[in-house]
Amino acid sequence: MTKSEKQFKGINAFLTLYFIAVIIVVEQLIKYSQWTIQLVKKWELPKEPFFSKINLVPLDLDLSLYQYIGFAITYIIFYGFILIGLIQLNRTIKLLSEKKLFLPEISSDFKKAGKSFSIFVIGTFIVDFSLLLTASTSKPILDLFATETIVFIILAYLLFFLSDILKEGFLLKEENELTI
């Protein structure tokens, strides 16, 4: 297997993972939107639990439907940042597949994707924490750190790290070309 075949195999593997991730995120956004629409249409809580990391038992809570709607819409907006980050990563992979490694666009796209994932993590944490305070439950705050939170924090920092490396590589490449 040649070097270019291995490279395209890796890019194809990423594209497969990318499409699977996009499908999962879109499916979750649809599910969350359906829950919210059902809440607004019937003006009562749906049978399915609220989709936050906090398991709320509706009978024990004194939350108004307006609060549920506010939390739901905010959660959906922050969840959409995963999709934005994935789109930025896809743009970067397209440039890398064309063997354009040290471009400012690649560094910028990695940084934008990292910011999108960070906004998702921080935003959903704030929504969950606010919900925890509003619901006045005694659930530990550490329960808010679900697997997806940890994965996206690590992914965001990895993208920031790659962004800085590629930015430095671009600067070194420019200096070398000026020296020649």
Structure confidence by residue, pLDDT tens digits, 130-159: 887 777 666 666 566 677 788 888 989 998
Average of pLDDT values for 40-64? 70
Name the pLDDT band for 116 (thresholds 50, 70, 90).
very high
Least confident window among 5-19, 22-36, 51-65, 93-107: 51-65
pTM of the predicted protein model: 0.80
What is the per-residue pLDDT for 45? 77
Q: Answer yes or no: are the C-beta atoms of 113 and 151 closer than 8 Å.
A: no
What is the per-residue pLDDT for 59? 46
Helix (H) or strand (E) holding 17: helix 3-42
Q: Answer yes or no: are the C-beta atoms of 142 and 86 closer than 8 Å.
A: no
> Tokens in use for 19?
């499409």
For residue 58, pLDDT over 60 is answered with no
